[in-house]
Amino acid sequence: MPSPRAAPGTATSLWNLTPLGLDAAAEVLGRPVGEMGGTARGAARSGAPHAMAVNETVIAITRTPATATRPVPRQQQPAAAPPATEPEPAPGLVLEAQGMGWIGSWSTEVPLNLPTSRGNRAGVRVDAVLQAPEAELPVLFVEVDNCTESADTLAAKFEKYLRYFHLKTKNPLGSESPVWRTQYPSTGREGHPPVVVVFNPGTRTGPQALKNRMNTAMELTRLVWSGSYHVAGGGYGAEERDGYYDYADAIPLLFTTLDRLQTSGPRTAVWWRCGHGQWETLPDALANPADRDAWYARDEQRRRQRDEERESQHQEWAAERERWTQEPDPEPEPAPEAAPCERCKGPITGPLGHDPDFVPSEDGRHCPSCRTDLRQQYPTLRQAVFGRRSRSK
């Protein structure tokens, strides 16, 4: 049975389960009594608004109807009775959005311990942890923010998350593995487990103030969620600057609001992944579209494109060679006609069979016979006195 306990300085009552109530709940849920939890840390100090916000977040994400705490006798159905069919919704009736997980998928106030130099344990206490493998969520850490603390205080939690995810332990085979893997299954994605912040501004924080708070928290935690950029080299299209983000040491940090979860449900576009820049569904928000696999897909696309271009060029060359083999050889151009001899008007090359050794050199104006005749003529008086002068061509 629940027992009320008033929070100091407030009029809000916090209801707790008695030990018998915890035993009954553990029996129904099939969980050990030690995992049933108790009063959320700080609930009495703050009047339980944070604990109530965590409960509302669990209800908004799960969206499962309440089940009876005691077995209900099953009524006998007539043998000839036809199976009952679900009634169709009335026109205009909006069905409730589907949730993720069930009440047994949650653990609240989960401590993530960190070793310190003084030997004690200090870390972060997760508000709620969801394990819903049927929704492809091996583990999801949930932080509920009532916007009562500063953005610096909120951002400092994720540095502790990162330190916890860095902790290593040795398995029975002697190799090291993350400590968180000893408690939770692998996420199947690159990087650390995802962490989501559910903002619950209520009436204390307006829309613009909430937006500023989200932007501030995102900037303060950039080193936690951004990953490291690497310029890829050696692939196809090396002249293009391309690369990828390595999320091996990054925490997928997601933002949402309680009213969005309550209104639309967790399976709609109510999640804002830091670095994506838009509201997305949870699978899209947890994906890494700029990681090495995405770069490899782009590189493969470039390789296929270059192979297609190379094949197309080879086909063009083959078609050009085929045209060359089918075209006839061009006819030789006729030799230009030589000018006739100025003296005899015959071919300037002269008749065939003349001996070039006894013919004067060509002057470009006379044939060999005329050149010989001109050489053998008697010189004139002027030529005898001044000598023969060769005429210009």
What is the full per-residue pLDDT of the chain (393 aa) written as tens digits? 444 444 444 444 555 566 666 566 665 555 555 555 555 444 444 447 888 999 999 999 998 655 555 554 555 554 544 444 544 544 443 445 688 989 889 999 999 887 664 555 567 899 999 999 988 889 999 999 999 999 999 999 999 999 999 999 887 787 888 899 888 998 888 889 999 999 999 877 899 999 999 999 999 999 999 877 777 765 444 455 677 778 888 999 999 999 999 999 999 999 999 989 899 999 999 988 776 667 667 777 778 888 888 888 888 888 888 888 887 777 777 777 777 887 887 787 777 666 666 677 777 778 888 888 877 776 777 766 666 665 544
Q: Is this prediction's pTM over 0.95?
A: no
Let me know: does 194 contact 187? Beta carbons within 8 Å: yes
Bridge partners (DSSP) of residue 113 are 123
Q: Residue 7: what pLDDT?
A: 43
Q: Residue 293: what pLDDT?
A: 67
Angle subtended by helix axes 151-166 and 207-220, to nearest 10 = 40
Strand locations in 189-289, DSSP E? 195-199, 228-231, 243-246, 253-257, 271-273, 279-280
Bridge partners (DSSP) of residue 170 are 176
- How many CA atoms lie within 13 Å of 5's alpha carbon, on the beta-carbon side? 15
From first CA to last CA, the distance across the chain in angstroms is: 134
Let me know: does 273 contact 254? Beta carbons within 8 Å: yes
**β-strand pairing of 168-170 with 137-145:** unpaired
Let me know: does 196 contact 270? Beta carbons within 8 Å: no
Question: What contacts 262, CB < 8 A, 6 or more positions away?
Answer: 56, 60
